[in-house]
Amino acid sequence: MSLDPWHVLTANYGHIAYPGTAFVTLLDCFLYLILTYNVGRARMKFGVPATETGGPQDLMRIIRAHLNTLEQLAFHLPVLWVAALAVSDNFATLGGAVWLFARTLYAARYYQKANRRTKGFLISMIANMVLLIGAFCGVIASF
């Protein structure tokens, strides 16, 4: 048997155990990159350097949407993957897609006006709670 470096690198290419969850995770990361880009663009628009932590309310809403999404990702991603492992890829994919939609809604509405963010926030929290409960039940059932 010869060692073919190309085959070694591509032996599992296209074979992912949890493709839906992996795809939603990548979309979550893409959303975060977009929100990061929006902060940089807004800083340039308002003339606020990266070292400053304050600025106009329009800028602060964009920064808060970005930071709150980062805070939510720290909870969302582990729960998403435990749900995929303990329940199913489809369950986690659906919950992750709802969360992604809600966070997109949250940011878009927060950019407009601070008090418009509630709907997206609540939907994303409910999606995470459903994922958490499902993951918890799936883990408990495996004992």
* 5: in domain: no
39: domain CATH number? 1.20.120.550
Give the pLDDT of residue 16. Answer: 86
- Token representation of residue 82: 């435990």
pTM of the model: 0.89
Q: What is the pLDDT of residue 2?
A: 57
Q: Take residue 64 and report the two structure tokens written for it.
A: 């808060």
Domain-located, residue 113: yes
What is the structure's pLDDT at 138?
98
Instruction: Provide the domain limits for residue 31.
Output: 17-141
pLDDT of 12? 64
pLDDT means over runs of 10, the chain (143 residues): 59 80 98 98 95 93 98 98 98 99 98 96 98 98 95
Joined tokens for residue 50: 């990266």
